[in-house]
Structure 1
Amino acid sequence: MRPSELAAATPESRDRYADLLRAGSLGTVVLGHWLMAAVSQDAAGHVRVGNLLALQPRLQVLTWFLQVMPVFFYVGGFVHARSCRSARRRGPGSYPVFLRARLRRLLRPTAVFTAVWGAVALAVQLAGADGGLIDIALRLVAQPLWFVGIYLAMAALTPPLLRLHERWGWGAFAALVAAAAAVDVLRFGLRVPGVEFLNFALVWLAVHQLGFLRADGMIRRPALLAGAGLTGAVLLVAYGPYPLSMVGMPGEKISNMAPPTLALLCHGLWLVGAVELLRGPLTRLLRRPRVWRAVVTAGGVSMTAFLWHLTAMLGVYGALLAAGVRIPDPGSAGWWLQVPLRIAAAAALTALLVALFRTFEKPSGVRESGAPRAWAGPAAALGATLSLLGVLALSMVGFGGLLEGRTALLMAVHVTAPAALAMTFTGWLLVDRAGRDRNRTG
């Protein structure tokens, strides 16, 4: 079904604002990545990729507006709550059905992306053509996969966390916030080693839990939420050990992103409050057919565009270097003059890649099983775990070193790129099979 037909068939009960936030947040992240990339070439011809925000620290305040990944996770909580409850109504054994339904449109395009780049990396290394920008690309294009891993964890943990929400409401959210704050106290105050990695779960799950609250209409004072979050973030950055940037900076000792901090959680709170304040006027705007068609079109390809946008950006820079076009020093007047052209070219190349790979993001049309097999629940949980670990490891090790055995440290275990790819594909196969109707294929 075409986007225009989907838009026309939208039921009145659908929360259109959630669709706008989902597509808009990913689009903002893509634009931020295109703006931050600072590719340069020295006199010897060596290519370097840096971060504009590290070169011009005064611009780091922009991350308080461009770092909108918390909004996507917030919407994820809202959607997961509704989907989980819908699966529950089908009766016992709903977990694999819910997980497959939530992960299919995420893992299918991710699996294709990793397969294509894995094949490219293998071909490059067998041909001995690595070096320069291609080495950088093999490392960088995999980095956004961390987001896929975190989202997988959120989906997999939705059923138990939703039950906690249904019993405790705001109390469950407050417990996650308190735990994240305690981790930072142990990390910065008592210097306890290794404890900071707990906040990869606690911070993002707290934002995700806000989506449950929204699903039940419990966020009634968004201005208070936004004000508290913004005040907390400002105070923590001004008087605490937290950096100004809400994204990671190369070479920094402390990052608000990796692992996430209490400052990033406060940043997420103010963003959630802000988007809820805009909910009324933007929802009315979405009633216009032309606007809603645009949102439906963007939402149908947003994950594919997100996965391939760095590929497009590096492709544009590669074409410029191959054509002998001089790239001005990042942050210079000439560099800024080139920005609109580079972004337009990256957007055009992303659109081409989306046209090639968008079919893998479409709903499958396969009926989910109402009575999964006895092994389906454990298989779905194992599959989600393997996929989570696989994509996280791949985001760290990249596609380079497929033949050299290059590794990344993941939860105290050294993982290679081939092992990461194997975990990702095996995990998806388990999730897919566990939730599939036993009487049909697809």
Structure 2
Amino acid sequence: MRNRYLDLLRAAAIVRVIVYHLFGWPWLSLLLPAMGVMFALAGSLAAASLEKRPARKVVFSRLRRLLPPLWLLGLIAVPAMLAAGWASEHNGEHPFDTGHLWHLAFWIFPLGDPPGSDRAADLWDPLWYIRAYVWFLLLSPLMWLVYRKIGWLAVAAPIVAIAVLDKTGFSLPDTADAAMWDFVTYGACWIAGFAHHDGRIRRIGPRTLVFLVLVLGLVALYWQNGHQGEEHWDLNDVPESQALWSIAFVLLALRWEPSMTWLPRVRPLDRLVTLLNARAVTIYLWHNLAITAVWPVLGLIALGGVTFDDIGHGLDGPVDLTAAMVLTLLAVLAFGWVEDLAARRRPRLWPTAAPTLRRAEVPPEEAVPALVGAYPIGGGMAARPEGPDFADRSAGHTSAAAAMHREQFRRSAPRSVPWAADVPAIEGVPGDGTGPLRLSEPGTTTPIRPPGGTGPLPLPAGPDAIQPVGGSSDPDSATRPFGDNEPSGAMRPRSATDPGGAIHPLDATGPEGATRPFVEGPAFGGATHQPGNTTEPGGGTDQFGGSRGAGRHAAPGDARDLDAPPSDWPPARLGGGRGGGVPDWFRQQRNGFSDSNPE
């Protein structure tokens, strides 16, 4: 599930960048340090990927989605700049001569700033962000290892590096020096993204965080006051102030994540946030060119008889902003599909909906059925979101623990109850039966739902019923995962204190040690956890009225915020008490959806 709060932050940062480049208001850099926020969000997603996959695959996947939009821009821009006389600009910032031709390689792999003509400076000037992003990606595996060793010291290291550079006056050649300064300016924000992913930011005490943010912010303002750039109070001119103010804002913004349940109800804003996130790279690459085209376009409109005198000079700003946004959206329509191809998604002109789901066959050896209500649901067909990060997520799920549960459920199958291969019951989740489920009658697609969606699931009657131990004269009809003669391993419905109607196996410790391996989140047909239930350790209430332990709770008495995003859930355990949790590989796979979007 995507974190819509992070999506909203990224969308706000993108809009702020456009408005700043259009009007140049210095105070916008104080109101929202957009670049620091974007680097922090990218760092959080990079950490999530590095935790699940080899570093080489993570870096390659990210670069594969970032570079094709840049290549398309270069394919159009470089010939256009040459046609406009770039070769004759011998004294330009990027002269087009034999001594500098090798710089054109930066349009392919931007370790340095892609070059361009002085006339087209508005086109290539913002590309420093792409160059800085590439360097952060390449160094992320190393930074992730260092961060896991030294924690907050890694976040502070770039700030300390700025002080060292100021004190020593150390510098590098032009291209390398720009990359070095951007790295130390925004490095703390990128690594703070790591701290957001592993929950370290959320563990900072509120008073400590507020004090830290105030100190960083005041130092940033003090330094800015004594080292003003071309525009007073524009943090973009002073990297020291930018670094301190950005990390202070990032810590504050990522410490408290408000509920976003309101966003889907505001449909236009929800769709706009989705669009801006799905086309973030395209918007960034083309927005400055769109801004440059605003006044020529408005001039053409004036030739048609509409002038600013007709509109009113007080509306110049809104008209310019509207024109810039419209032209940027036209660029999204014309070139945004490249991001879909780069991410191995079906191209979409206007991606305001969730990514398309496709049906994907789960390998038989990975299909782990889970018991929900009276029927074992799982395996069979599963729907997974399209995208580069989902193709290989079912690989590697053959741990000993997962194999144990597969065997346990295989042995527990009653003869007369169909398995999930015969029940098309899963929407948008892997084939092990956890997540949102649609329960079906055997051999049909008719949902099993009590009236109003509440109350216990009905148990089937007749020959298809699963009998509890001792509930049938026919011992073969009882479900015993560990043998007919071992009642401690029998299957039974919930007891009077656990009336949800679900079946779960008992381990050797008896009823108090019941193990439900795949109970987490909305596992019982969309059950939702409610805090404050003390019937079980770490317990919650499912929508069918039963009380159960939440798989994301680590242990009795170990408090967890039930509203925390999935990235902040503690590692789950297999077995070991009621609501024993889910395997780490499945928690990571389910939580990885937010990793599907390029910055």
Determine if contact 1:109/1:303 at 8 Å carries over to the other structure.
yes
Q: Relative to 1, partners in 2 of residues 1:142 and 1:127: Cα closer, same or farther, differing over 3 Å?
A: closer
Alignment of 1:1-80 (within 5 A): 11=1, 14-36=2-24, 60-80=26-46
- Aligned counterpart, 2:49: 83
Structure 1 residue 310, shift from structure 2 partner: 1.4
**Amino acid in the other structure paired with 2:291:** M
Q: Secondary structure at 2:336's aligned position in 1? A: helix
Distance 1:85 1:223 in 2: 29
User: Which residue of the other structure, out of 307, 316, 325, is the alignment partner of 1:347?
Assistant: 325
Q: Deviations over 1:128-179 (max 9, x none)?
A: 9xxxxx9765121111100000011111111010000111111211223212
User: Matched residue pairs, number?
Assistant: 305
Q: In the alignment, does 2:364 pair up with 1:364?
A: no
Q: In the alignment, does 2:285 pair up with 1:285?
A: no
**Amino acid in the other structure paired with 2:293:** G
Distance 2:5 2:13 in 1: 12
Q: Which moved more, 1:271-280 or 1:286-295?
A: 286-295
Determine if contact 1:225/1:269 at 8 Å carries over to the other structure.
no
Distance 2:134 2:297 in 1: 35
Q: Relative to 1, partners in 2 of residues 1:179 and 1:114: Cα closer, same or farther, differing over 3 Å?
A: same
- Aligned counterpart, 1:276: 254
Q: Secondary structure at 1:163's aligned position in 2? A: helix
Determine if contact 2:9/2:37 at 8 Å carries over to the other structure.
yes
Q: Deviations over 1:48-88 (max 9, x none)?
A: xxxxx5xxxxxx33421144110000111101001122213
User: Which residue of the other structure, out of 72, 79, 86, is the alignment partner of 1:119?
Assistant: 79
Which structure 1 segments of 5+ residues have no match? 1-10, 37-52, 54-59, 89-93, 129-133, 249-254, 329-333, 371-442
User: Which residue of the other structure, out of 66, 83, 86, is the alignment partner of 1:106?
Assistant: 66
Distance 1:166 1:83 in 2: 15
Structure 1 residue 124, shift from structure 2 partner: 3.0
Distance 2:86 2:299 in 1: 24
**Amino acid in the other structure paired with 2:47:** A
Q: In the alignment, does 2:217 pair up with 1:230?
A: yes
Structure 1 residue 288, shift from structure 2 partner: 4.2
Determine if contact 1:226/1:272 at 8 Å carries over to the other structure.
no
User: Which residue of the other structure, out of 270, 282, 307, is the alignment partner of 2:285?
Assistant: 307
Q: Relative to 1, partners in 2 of residues 1:285 and 1:186: Cα closer, same or farther, differing over 3 Å?
A: farther
Q: Relative to 1, partners in 2 of residues 1:125 and 1:236: Cα closer, same or farther, differing over 3 Å?
A: closer
Q: Deviations over 1:83-119 (max 9, x none)?
A: 122213xxxxx41x21121122221111111211112
Distance 1:152 1:124 in 2: 29
Alignment of 1:157-306 (within 5 A): 157-187=139-169, 198-220=180-202, 221=204, 222-238=209-225, 240-243=226-229, 244-248=232-236, 255-256=237-238, 260-261=239-240, 263-276=241-254, 279-281=257-259, 283-286=260-263, 288=265, 290=267, 291-306=269-284
Distance 2:65 2:235 in 1: 26
Q: Relative to 1, partners in 2 of residues 1:266 and 1:116: Cα closer, same or farther, differing over 3 Å?
A: same
Distance 1:178 1:135 in 2: 36
Q: Relative to 1, partners in 2 of residues 1:165 and 1:277: Cα closer, same or farther, differing over 3 Å?
A: closer
Structure 1 residue 274, shift from structure 2 partner: 3.5
Q: Secondary structure at 1:280's aligned position in 2? A: coil
Determine if contact 1:103/1:152 at 8 Å carries over to the other structure.
yes
- Aligned counterpart, 1:426: none
TM-score scaled by structure 1?
Answer: 0.62
**Amino acid in the other structure paired with 1:270:** A
**Amino acid in the other structure paired with 1:75:** L
Structure 1 residue 194, shift from structure 2 partner: 5.3
Q: Secondary structure at 2:258's aligned position in 1? A: helix
**Amino acid in the other structure paired with 2:9:** L
Determine if contact 1:17/1:286 at 8 Å carries over to the other structure.
no
Distance 1:273 1:336 in 2: 38
Q: Secondary structure at 2:27's aligned position in 1? A: helix
Quote the sequence identity (%).
Answer: 26
User: Which residue of the other structure, out of 120, 138, 141, is the alignment partner of 1:138?
Assistant: 120
Q: Relative to 1, partners in 2 of residues 1:335 and 1:271: Cα closer, same or farther, differing over 3 Å?
A: farther
Determine if contact 2:196/2:254 at 8 Å carries over to the other structure.
no
Determine if contact 1:327/1:335 at 8 Å carries over to the other structure.
yes
Distance 1:194 1:107 in 2: 26
Distance 2:150 2:117 in 1: 49
Distance 1:353 1:71 in 2: 24
Distance 1:124 1:174 in 2: 46
**Amino acid in the other structure paired with 1:338:** D
- Aligned counterpart, 2:464: none
Determine if contact 2:224/2:233 at 8 Å carries over to the other structure.
no
Q: Secondary structure at 1:218's aligned position in 2? A: coil
**Amino acid in the other structure paired with 2:162:** A
Distance 2:164 2:246 in 1: 18
Q: Secondary structure at 1:158's aligned position in 2? A: helix
Alignment of 1:362-441 (within 5 A): 362=340, 363-365=343-345
Larger Rg: 1 or 2?
2
**Amino acid in the other structure paired with 1:27:** V
**Amino acid in the other structure paired with 1:202:** V
Distance 1:171 1:307 in 2: 34
Q: Which moved more, 1:110-119 or 1:73-82?
A: 110-119
Q: How big is the alpha-carbon RMSD for the aligned residues of Structure 1 and Structure 2?
A: 3.2
Q: Secondary structure at 1:144's aligned position in 2? A: helix
Determine if contact 2:159/2:244 at 8 Å carries over to the other structure.
no
Which has the higher relative contact order, 1 or 2, with Cα contacts under 8 A spaced 6 or more apart? 1
**Amino acid in the other structure paired with 2:227:** P
Determine if contact 1:141/1:311 at 8 Å carries over to the other structure.
yes
Q: Deviations over 1:196-240 (max 9, x none)?
A: 7543222222211110011111113443443232112122223x4
Structure 1 residue 127, shift from structure 2 partner: 12
**Amino acid in the other structure paired with 2:344:** S
